[in-house]
């Protein structure tokens, strides 16, 4: 079982076998990442000529620019991830388009998000309905959180209608996805991972793979990823990290990934808190040297969906600015969003 591999360094494991008592497993850390409003504390003003002049300067200073807002259509709002993005978009001051698409039937054909009614249509109606929605909501950006099997078909539709979009859904044919966007010359952000801090980790991995190819040649890699049972495919993040390790000289096939989707196994083997079984992402990458005297371990655990929802909204804000500026480059990923440095 993988749990034994991840329990300790090989040398430590050998020493442990000589101990009379059992070893307590290490509990993985898990902290929900949210957003809050920072409050600045200002010192009490002192009466002086300097303060008076400063006050006049502030009064004459130009007003702060208005908060950026534009229409955003979240497809689909019936899923937990889509709902989280819709809530984050409203919180950010964006205009939530009251339309979404889903094969899931909902009461009265609508859902309520942040006191807004969102009307749900069958995905087959997308091509006939989206043109009129785009006309009613100029500058609209679509966010896609649907299912892996719909990724390429949805992207083709967005490109056909020339709708800029953020693709948060993992899976599908990613090479074809990029080609579809490039051929259509439509603005889009495509990323297998929308959590900004996790993307920063991925960027660091890519830099290491580019600058030190073959550094881990001969090492054995074991990968375990745990997500809620509704996630059907292998994590896109895991695929990206594995790709970096392959460039670093590690031989590994995607079918070797241990996918954990059973709740009981997630509780006992992975250590996922029970309240987050329905929404989490725990990843572990374990490297062992050929002679088993050296090991490396990379781990990132996320509970909840707020980290992805906030990152997705940042991606939409980024894309809107690129569209408004009219830059020639159209296709972006979350690393581009991070490099822009204007995240909330």
**Which residues are annotated as catalytic?**
227, 231
- The position carrying tokens 């043109």 is 131
Q: Distances in Å between the alpha carbon of 297 and those of 8, 66, 284, 287, 290?
A: 10, 46, 7, 6, 15
Phi, psi (degrees; rounded to nearest 5) at 44: -65, 130
The 3-state DSSP class for residue 300 equals: strand
Q: Distances in Å between the alpha carbon of 310 and those of 86, 286, 306, 313?
A: 10, 29, 6, 5
Cβ-count burial 258-288 (b if 16+ within 10 Å, e if not): bbbeeeeebeebbbbeeebbebbbbbbbbbb
Residue pair 85/168 in contact (Cβ under 8 Å)? The answer is: yes
The verdict on whether omega for the bond into residue 76 sits within 30 degrees of 0, i.e. cis, is yes
The 3-state DSSP class for residue 147 equals: coil
β-pairing, 141-144 vs 280-288, is unpaired
Give the separation between CA 234 and CA 225, rounded to whole angstroms. Answer: 8
Exposed (0-12), middle (13-18) or buried (19+): which is 62, by Cβ within 10 Å? exposed
Give the separation between CA 31 and CA 195, rounded to whole angstroms. Answer: 14
């Amino acid at each position: 079982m993988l749990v034994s591999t991840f329990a300790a360094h090989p040398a430590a494991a050998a020493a442990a076998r000589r101990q009379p008592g059992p070893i307590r497993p290490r509990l993985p850390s898990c902290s929900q990442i949210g957003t809050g409003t920072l409050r600045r504390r200002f010192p009490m003003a002192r009466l002086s000529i300097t303060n008076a002049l400063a006050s006049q300067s502030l009064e004459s200073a130009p007003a702060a620019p208005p908060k950026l807002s534009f229409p955003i259509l979240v497809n689909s709002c019936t899923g937990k991830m889509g709902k989280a993005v819709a809530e984050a978009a409203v919180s950010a001051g964006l205009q939530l388009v009251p339309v979404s698409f889903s094969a899931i039937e909902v009461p009265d054909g609508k859902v309520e998000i942040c006191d807004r009614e969102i009307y749900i249509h069958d995905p087959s109606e997308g091509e006939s309905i989206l043109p009129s929605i785009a006309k009613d909501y100029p500058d609209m950006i679509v966010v896609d959180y649907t299912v892996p099997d719909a990724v390429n078909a949805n992207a083709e539709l967005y490109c056909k209608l020339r709708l800029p979009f953020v693709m948060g859904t993992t899976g599908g044919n990613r090479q074809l996805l990029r080609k579809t966007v490039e051929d259509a010359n439509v603005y889009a952000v495509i990323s297998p991972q929308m959590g900004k801090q996790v993307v920063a980790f991925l960027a660091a991995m890519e830099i290491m793979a580019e600058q030190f190819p073959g550094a881990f040649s001969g090492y054995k890699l074991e990968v375990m990823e745990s997500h809620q049972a509704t996630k059907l495919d292998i994590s896109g993040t895991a695929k990206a990290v594995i790709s970096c390790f392959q460039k670093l000289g590690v031989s590994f096939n995607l079918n070797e990934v241990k996918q954990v989707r059973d709740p009981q196994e997630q509780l006992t083997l992975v250590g996922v808190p029970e309240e987050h079984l329905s929404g989490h992402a725990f990843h572990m990458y374990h490297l062992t040297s050929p002679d088993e005297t050296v090991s490396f371990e990379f781990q990132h655990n996320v509970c909840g969906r707020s980290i992805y929802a906030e990152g997705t909204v940042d991606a939409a804000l980024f894309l809107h600015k690129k569209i408004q500026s009219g830059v020639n480059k159209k296709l972006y990923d979350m690393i581009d969003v991070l490099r822009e440095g204007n995240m909330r």
